Amino acid sequence: MKKLGFGLMRLPLVNPDDQTSIDIEKFKAMADRFIERGFTYFDTAYPYHGGKSEVAFREAVVKRYPREAFTVTSKMPVWTINEESDLERVFNEQLEKCGVDYFDYYWLHALNRERVEVMDRMDGWGFIARKKAEGKIRHIGFSFHDDSKLLAEILEKHPEIEYVQLQINYLDWDSPAIESRVCYELCVKHGKPVIVMEPVKGGSLARVPEGIERLFKGYNPDASPASWAIRYCASLPNVMMVLSGMSNMEQLEDNTSYMQDFQPLNEEEQDIITQATQVIRDAIAIPCTACHYCTEGCPQEIAIPEYFSLYNIVQQFPELKSNSKLYYDLVAKSHGKASECLECGQCEAQCPQHIDIIDNLKLLVEAFETP
């Protein structure tokens, strides 16, 4: 397989304020181009787009292509499992929503220590192994959002796991919070190929500061900032696949253009990435990837990722503050404001980036709600 996967968590929308309003016709056109260019790997999950991503995949791909034309990954929503029978029920629901008889790859989704304990109690590990034996899953693994200590424990305890999905990008490679490098090296040690998520860090690395863009363009005028980020991840020897959550045809055309005949970064390009990392790290105020895990169950329905994105724009481009405030007020018409946060902490417990969401929401109040 080519090393680029189509992540189905940021699909084009009919209504930007409604994550369930997937624009199926645009998605069909994107899927067609993706497959036409020789790519096959689609990555969906139970909660993406408010539960509509798997259905959209069925409509755009499964109903329109033979089974051998695509590879599909989905994931068990561990946080919804309250008893063992839920595993079978949810899995069968996912097969039906995707319109397939088996998954090529299937993960336990977004594991952290709490969710590992749930899967230990519910025998989630045994469940996916049995489904593999039944032919309902070709390959089993898990996606991971916790520290390297827990990852080492899982890999020691579950040698049957074939793959690990990790958050890796050049900004997080040496991050003490994300530990991308350490986690990657643990997978190498245990002989587990890695699938990369968030290579562009939720779009942050596609919108780099002007000085970094000049640095990139000075070396290769035709290469987008996103291409540097994705090629960085794909250049790691133990990486099998790099996922990109593409939202429009322009992004898909760009990504597939340089990943059709993928060339790893050379030494000079690696040096440029090293320079860029420090500058960008200093420029991004809140390292949010817009995964939306934080908004699941928010009692005030606060649009946390959208607000953080607006705040980051203002920090990098102060001249856009008035425009960003207009967007903030628009989003706040259908969602809770930052000032309405109850400080319950459920968002921080779900955040893969370990962001101090409550404290950062207070910065938003000052930026967008204070005269």
Tell me the percentage of the chain whose pLDDT exceeds 90: 81
Q: 81 pLDDT band (50/70/90 cuts)?
A: very high
Q: By mean pLDDT, which of 200-209, 221-230, 239-248 is the weakest? A: 200-209
Report domain extents, the chain. 4-283, 293-369
Q: 177 pLDDT band (50/70/90 cuts)?
A: low
Q: 326 pLDDT band (50/70/90 cuts)?
A: confident
Q: 213 pLDDT band (50/70/90 cuts)?
A: very high
Tell me, what's the pLDDT at 42? Answer: 98
The dotted CATH code for 4-283 is: 3.20.20.100
Tokens 């001249």 belong to residue: 319
pLDDT in tens, 21-61: 999 999 999 999 999 999 999 999 999 999 999 999 999 99
d(CA 320, CA 180): 32
Query: Mean pLDDT of all residues in the chain?
Result: 94
| pTM tops 0.85 | no
Q: 99 pLDDT band (50/70/90 cuts)?
A: very high
Tell me, what's the pLDDT at 246? Answer: 96
Q: Indicate if the pLDDT at residue 70 is higher than 80.
A: yes
> How confident is the model over 237-241, as a mean pLDDT?
98
Per DSSP bridges, beta strands 163-167 and 194-197 are parallel
Tell me, what's the pLDDT at 278? Answer: 86
Q: 118 pLDDT band (50/70/90 cuts)?
A: very high
Per DSSP bridges, beta strands 103-111 and 163-167 are unpaired
Tell me, what's the pLDDT at 312? Answer: 85
| Nearest alpha-carbon partner for 30 in 62, 63, 9, 60 | 60
CA dihedral 323, 329, 331, 335 (to 10 degrees): 160
- Hey, which residues does 197 pair with through a beta bridge? 167
d(CA 352, CA 70): 29
